[in-house]
Amino acid sequence: MELTAFMSQELPRIEGLLREKTDSLSEYVRPCAGHVLAAGGKRLRPLLTILSARAFGYGGDVLPLACAMEFLHSATLLHDDIVDGSRLRRGKPAAHTVFDQTAAILTGDALLALANRMVAELGDARLTQLLSEAILQTATGEIMEVAHIRDFAMPVGKYLEIITGKTARLIEAACLCGAVLAGAGSEGEDAAKAFGLNLGIAFQLADDALDYTSDALVAGKTTGADLREGKPTLPLLLFLCSLPSREATGCLEILSDDGERNRQAETLLKAVTEGGFAEQTRDRAQAYIAKAEDALAKFPDAPHRKLLRQSLSGAAKREK
C-alpha cells in the first residue's frame, strides 16, 4: 500500500471523529472550534499516531488517540495566532479575527481539555502523562520564541531549542503515544520518539526555509513574514553568521529597528536566499530526516514502516 492510498482511507475517518467530537461540545464553544478544525491542515499528527501504532502491530482502535493529537494541535494554533498577532491561518482568517480573542483563548482551553479527556478515557495514565508533558513543552517553546523576538543575535542552539519545544515535541508525542498504545516496549518507544522528534525538527526547519522562498499564493502566506515580525529563524541566523563581524554588526542594527527592518525587508530576503541560506536550512532539515530514517530502522519490518518512510520525504520538502 502506498501513503496516498493509506491517507485516502484514514483521512475520512479522522475527519469524521474530529467532527463528531466538535459537535459534542457546547454550542458556545462549537463555532470557534469548528472554524479552526475546518481550516484544514494535513492532519499530520493523527496520521503519524495511526501509522506508529500500526507499525508496532496494534490492531485496535487508534482514532481517539490520533484525533486527540489534532485537537491539541488546534488548541495551540488558536493561542499561537493571538500571541503572534497572525491574521491568517492556512490562507483563511484566523479564529480570533472571525470570532474574538476571548472565544479563541477559551475555545483553546476547551480543546486542550477535550484532548486530555479523550486520552484519559483510554484508561492508560502513561498516555495522559506523555500528552501533558508535550503540552507543557509546546507552551514553553512558544514563550521562549516570544521572549527571543527581535533577538537576531540569538545562537543557533537556542533557535533549535525553540523549534524543538514549539513544534517537535508534539510530533514526537504523536509518534510515541502510538507506540505506547501498541505496547512497543522500551526500545520500540525510543525508536518512535527519535523518529517523531527528528521529523518534527525537520518539519519546522523546512517551514522556516519556506518563509524565505515560497510563493505567497501557494503557501497561503506571505513570504518574509518571519523577518517582518522580527522572528529570528535559521536562514537569517546562518546569513548573519556568514558575515564579517563589522557587516554583521551593521546588519543587526538594521534588523533590531522595526522600521528599518521593514523598509529593507526585500533586500534582506534577497541576500538570505541568494546567499543560499534557505537552501542550507533545507539541507539541515534533510539531516534531521536522515536521523528519523535511522530511527525507523529500529521499527519492526512492517508495511506501515514503509509508509512512515514515505511520509518523511514530504515533510522535508513542504513546498506548500
Binding site for a second copy (CB under 8 A): 25-26, 28-29, 75-76, 79, 82-83, 101-103, 105-110, 112-114, 116-117, 119-126, 128-129, 131-133, 135-136, 138-140, 142-144, 146-147
Q: In this complex, which beta carbon is closest to a second copy, that of residue 10 or of residue 189? A: 189
- Residue (97 or 140) nearer to a second copy, CB: 140
* Residue 87: count of CB within 10 angstroms of its CB: 10
CB of 197 to a second copy, least distance (A): 18
In the complex, the smallest distance separating the C-beta of residue 61 from a second copy, rounded to whole angstroms, is 16
CB of 76 to a second copy, least distance (A): 8
Nearer to a second copy, 2 or 258 (CB): 258
Beta carbon of residue 101, minimum distance to a second copy (angstroms, whole number)? 8
**Nearest-approach distance from CB 96 to a second copy, in angstroms:** 11
Select 124 or 279, whichever has its Cβ closest to a second copy: 124
CB 296 within 8 A of CB 192: no
Q: Whose Cβ is closer to a second copy: residue 12's or residue 85's?
A: 85
